[in-house]
Structure 1
Amino acid sequence: MVFKLGNFLNGLTGKSLKTQELKKEKFSVFWGLPIMSSDAISSVAYAGEEILWILVPVIGLLSYKYMLYASLLIVFLMFMLTFSYRQTIDAYPSGGGSYVVAKDNLGTTAGLIAGASLTIDYILTVAVSASAGTAAITSAAPFLLPHRVGITLGLIILLVIGNLRGVRESSKLFGIPTYLFIISVLSMIIWGIVKIHFMGYTPVPLYKIPEASGNITLFLFLKAFAGGCTALTGIEAVSNGVPNFKEPSQKHAKMVLGLLALIVLLVFGGISYLATLYHAVPNSEVTVVAQISQQIFDKSIMFYVIQATTAVILVLAGNTAFAGLPLLLAFMARDGYAPRQFAKRGRRLNYSNGIVMLGLLSCILVIIFKGDTHYLIPLYAVGVFISFTLSQAGMFRRWIKSRGYAWRHKAAVNGLGALMTFVTAVIIGATKFAHGAWVVFILIPSVVYVMRKIKLHYTEAARQLKLPMDQKPKKIDFASQKRYVIVPIDALNKSFLKALNYARTISDNIIIFHVSVDDAATEKLLKKWHQYGVDIPIVVKKSPYRSIVGPLVKFIESEEYAAGSKDTVTVVMPQFVVTKWWGNILHNQTSLFIKTMLLKRRNIAIVTVPYIIDEG
């Protein structure tokens, strides 16, 4: 079974890698750009649409003018964040992003809030990107709409498998489609502008623009701006994942960050400008990008290329989360604020536990929200801008305290970044609160609470396990201490006999213990016991409530049993092991249940004696 499972895993995720091969599993600039920035690049596919969803129903045709203003403001904010995170990369070459920066400079609580915010954002990134990818697919093939949840779950599973194959393979697997998207969208932007300004084309909207029902207000504009800020998610991932780049990792990370900003400027700015020229009207069945590409290319092959590459990049946006969250969880696990399993590298030298958890939680979100991006996005940008703010504030305090080279300039950049991201976070929280953002304000404190409980558990476990330097192992008089062994029995068979033979090697004080929940079965066992003539006493205790563990523990602690309070009782558990994975489903796993309960008793040692059933 182990051999077959190994072959299956090799086929699914690739052969195991040696620890020494870790250096090869790093991003170059060319392959790091599409993986670490796919979230930010893909967000442009629906960020402009979110702006129009808010403006069009209220101010109609005037929406396209104010959409352009909101887009310019978002681009300015993006460049501020880019300059700020370049300084973070220089200051923290080991990565960790907002969590490490906030924890080092603002305290543990701020670090945990940043970590919780990013964790929630990364999970939402995968759910939103896969759902948006499905929306692009159903825009080109509307007959698939009823199956969008199933399609979205399938896409997430593919992402999990791809990322489990390791950094190098996943970058090549998912990097090429990202470049195809960039090339195809830039071609659409250029041709769309040429078609109107140089060829005299007059665009006709595919859908009727609603009549204005109100006037533009500051609140409405800020609400639209907040919707478009989803274009900025993922920028932090580059500074968070500096260790994923080849040496010199800082230089390569900063190059990727700069290229990312340039691409977002061209693609987001270009699509926003095209939306104002072609007057795309948002609706739940055909995306804005699909409407624009249809007007520019009609239903030619380029239309389907745009839809295909958009669908792929939207799905691959989740790669930013798969590259960022497992690394973030590894940092928190090393500090004791996340389960330690997240700090261990898997077969392919990636943090596979974090990858699997991210995929599982994203699937749950998709099922809850039925794969609708419009319901998921209000939860999306709140957490990331909270982490942005904490990161920028942490860097600002770092420069103020250190007062090193050019500290005033650096403090000014991060200070302005902190102010702008804080204002944006307040705007997003206020405008999207009633639409679902309130959930994030409950989730973040809840996640922080869980992190603190995990830390408390590890601290208490370490305290109790700590061995002082002056405490030497005590000499124990084994001659005066008796060793008692209990062998539970349900049926007299080869599995039990193997356990009994082992028990004889460690003690002469053996008791066979049987819990009777069926009189007929017990009578049959005792009859067989006497037929075999075993010279060891068998103790039978009835359990009217069918509990197995209760009578065993009660017997050990009672005066009926000869063991003293300081004696160790060894319970030898017979357990048969099946070679087929599905065979475990066919057995009640009583021995596993008993072991789980007995482990909580200090004076009980448990030995499992396996008996393998080879099914061929």
Structure 2
Amino acid sequence: MSLGSGKFLNRLMGKSLKTEELKSEKLSVFWGLPIMSSDAISSVAYAGEEILWVLVPVIGLMSYRYMLYASILIVLLMFMLTFSYRQTIDAYPSGGGSYIVAKDNLGTTAGLVAGASLTIDYVLTVAVSSCAGTAAITSAVPSLLPYKVGITLLLIVLLVIGNLRGVRESSKLFGIPTYLFIASVLFMIVWGLIKVYFIGYKPAPVFKIPEASGSITIFLFLKAFASGCTALTGIEAVSNGVPNFKEPSQKHAKMVLALLALVVLLVFGGISYLATLYHAVPNSQETVVAQISQQIFNKNIMFYVIQATTALILVLAGNTAFAGLPQLLAFMAKDGYAPRQFAKRGRRLNYSNGIIMLGFLSCMLVVIFKGSTHYLMPLYAVGVFVSFTLSQAGMFKRWVKNKGFAWRHKAFINGLGASMTFVTAVVIGITKFIHGAWVVFILVPFVVYIMKRIELHYAEAARELKLPMDQKPKKIDFTSQKRYVIVPIDTLNKSFLKALNYARTISDNIIIFHVSIDDDATKKLLNKWNQYNVDIPIIVKKSPYRSIVGPLVKFIESEEYAAGPDDTVTVVMPQFVVTRWWGNILHNQTSLFIKTVLLKRRNIAIVTVPYIINER
């Protein structure tokens, strides 16, 4: 890496941190609430709207009464989950959430199902929240509507960069907007209630309420309830990320969970109640929150403050996923069910590979679904309620099996939580199935299959590499073993000469190998070779199909080549290296392709000799 690119990375991501500095990167309760709970806090901005999307087209004005009933049920379910996850935090202080709980108590497959469900949900969280943030922006500035996909992608990139800077810096960067949102929305709720009940204001809907086209049914109400359950998607992240809190981490995590429940009660409950008073009508031009704030503040400065903070919190909701998914992938990677790169900390002591992957997958979803929150919503919350159910069922089994202090009380709480979340998962699965939730039911088994294949690969690799105690290294008679060296050549230049000089240091049996795909270029090479009068033979093989690697491998394995099965064959690859990061894009990377193929041959050793080109 060049000095310039190093300075750029330091400015963009911050300077690299020592491993010993990990303790200083832990979260306090004050900063942990917005980082770990921004998803659940932000969900209140669109959860009520999703309920109305289901009810208003069917029952018209009656929607607001049943919206309130659905909101009350969601709040009750939230408190049930809060009590349940407090017990999970006590039982599993090292974190891991549903994945660890289900894996320990229900078996590996259940754990992988929970992990896969959460992985999908976290990716959807970033995509949905970013799209919702863009919707809030375009509600305030409608002229930006044609650019919503580009705006959403930019917001995700900013989230990735912010999280790559580390836990402590991202908490300050993303925490303040969360508190501004809470304060501004609570002010809107209080002023909105005062305006109706004390000043005597009679709300007039911004948009016309559709006439009822049907009547309320149990299925319609359950469908509305399922849509509003998006308000509960961020609760899992707190128990998943217990190690991210300062000591005593369990105590601080439980405090954050309790504060989260209080904030969701006040904000979600308050907005839902205001929607019933001000009769906000869901539509694609203006959000429900925007309609309510417009009626309360008449598009003064507070209206734009509400829109700005709502947009910020909706975007920052993805931060919960950036805090949760990399930690989850690290747990699964340590168990061998995800690539091991996800278990390694980056320059700022975060799991940077997980952060980058999450950002990439979220951007893909935004492009595929054209930045529409409404299209993404049916996929949302299905996975998280599956993981909720597995986690609560796992905790219930743990208490029944291990007994211990007050185990009946604990088992009742987790058992009730498992029952409620299971019913909710079934309701969401049925009501959202034809609208896109079927995709999740295909993706979860597919992701579980991939995880098991990864674990199988690592197990087979470990078995192949294991050295038994009774197997001693062989004594090799180097006088009888021959060492052969092949130096591929394309052009006679300084890079090749450096590789050839290195080859001379390890063997006298050197062959220069050239694959001819252009007769004129080969003729020029041989003329130049003769001019320099090199005392090493050069083998030329024509390649009618322009393959470079194939003729080289075929030559090594043929009888024409003198090396035996016990001899060492070393391929010395000349490779020039450019100092500017974009320079490698301009070269065909032939040596990389050759190494990729040759690395699969056990009897071949590969040595790369770099030649650095210092660009001005």
Same structural fold, with TM-score higher than 0.5 when normalized by the shorter chain: yes
SS of the residue corresponding to residue 404 of structure 1 reads coil
Worse-superposed segment, 510-519 or 75-84? 510-519
Structure 1 residue 59 displacement after superposition: 0.3
State the distance in 1 between where 2:466 and 2:338 align.
21
- Cross-structure match for 1:307: 307
**What CA distance in whole angstroms lies between the structure 2 residues aligned with 1:601 and 1:329?**
32
Q: Secondary structure at the match of 1:275?
A: helix
2:131 aligned counterpart, secondary structure: helix
- Offset at residue 222 of structure 1 (A): 0.2
TM score, norm. by length of structure 1: 0.99
* SS of corresponding position for 2:456: helix
Code of the residue aligned with 1:74 in structure 2: it is I
User: CA–CA distance in 2 between the matches of 1:496 and 1:184?
Assistant: 67
Q: Which residue is equivalent to 1:128?
A: 128
Which residue does the alignment assign to 2:405? Answer: 405
1:91 corresponds in structure 2 to 91
Tell me the secondary structure at the aligned position of residue 480 of structure 2: coil
Counterpart CA distance in 2 for 1:585 and 1:316 is 34
- Partner of 1:456 in structure 2? 456
The answer on 1:287 being equivalent to 2:320 is: no
How far residue 588 of structure 1 moved from its aligned partner, in angstroms, is: 1.3
Shift of residue 37, structure 1, vs aligned partner: 0.5
Q: Which amino acid aligns with 2:54?
A: I
Alignment match, 2:497 = 497
Give the equivalent residue in structure 1 for 2:391: 391
AA in 2 matched with 1:67: M
Partner of 2:18: 18
The Cα of 1:558 is off from its aligned counterpart by 1.1
Aligned with 1:575: secondary structure? strand
Name the SS of the counterpart of 2:582 in structure 1: helix
- Identity percentage of aligned residues: 85
- Alignment-derived partner of residue 235 in structure 2: 235
d(CA) in 2 for partners of 1:135 and 1:346?
33
Equivalent residues in 2 for 1:258-337 (5 A)?
258-337=258-337
Aligned to 1:111: 111
Query: Is 531-540 or 388-397 further displaced after alignment?
Result: 531-540
Deviations 1:225-281 (A, max 9, x none): 000000000001100000000000000000000000000000000000000000000
Partner residue in 1 for 2:141: 141
Shift of 1:587: 1.5
Could you say which residue in structure 2 is the equivalent of 1:589?
589
The aligned counterpart of 1:62 is 62
Q: Which digits, 9 at most, give the CA deviation of each residue in 1:325-361, with x for residues without a partner? A: 0000000000000000000000000000000000000
C-alpha deviation, 1:581, in angstroms: 2.0
Between the aligned partners of 2:508 and 2:19, the Cα distance in structure 1 is 47
Contact 2:2–2:581 (Cα < 8 Å) also in 1:
no
Q: Which moved more, 1:479-488 or 1:582-591?
A: 582-591
Moved more, 466-475 or 79-88: 466-475
Matches of residues 356-367 of structure 1 in structure 2 within 5 Å? Answer: 356-367=356-367
Give distance in 2, aligned partners of 1:421 and 1:336: 29
Q: Does 1:429 align with 2:429?
A: yes
For structure 2, list consecutive stretches of 5 or more residues without a partner in the other structure: none
The aligned counterpart of 1:538 is 538
**CA positional deviation for 1:526:** 1.0
Aligned-residue offset at 1:2:
2.5
Structure 1: runs of 5+ lacking an equivalent: none
- What code does the residue aligned with 1:17 have? L
Partner of 1:47: 47
* Aligned partner letter, 2:287: T
Counterpart secondary structure, 2:491: coil
Q: Distance in 1 between matches of 2:173 and 2:581?
A: 31
1:180 equivalent in alignment to 2:176? no
- AA in 2 matched with 1:198: F
Structure 2 partner of 1:565: 565
Greater alpha carbon shift after TM alignment, 564-573 vs 413-422 = 564-573
Letter paired with 1:159: L
Task: Read off the aligned partner of 1:607 and give its amino acid letter.
Answer: V
Q: When the two structures are aligned, how many residues end up with a matched partner?
A: 616
Following superposition, which runs of at least 4 residues in structure 1 exceed 6 angstroms of deviation? none
* Code of the aligned partner of 1:611: Y
Find the aligned partners of 1:549 and 1:567 in 2 and give their Cα distance: 21
Moved more, 71-80 or 547-556: 547-556
Aligned residue for 2:200, secondary structure, equals coil
The Cα of 1:582 is off from its aligned counterpart by 2.1
1:555 matched to 2:559? The reply is no
In the TM superposition, residue 523 of structure 1 has moved relative to its aligned partner by: 1.2
Question: Is 2:199 the partner of 1:203?
Answer: no
SS in 2 for 1:611: strand
Whether contact under 8 Å (2:113, 2:444) holds in the other structure is yes
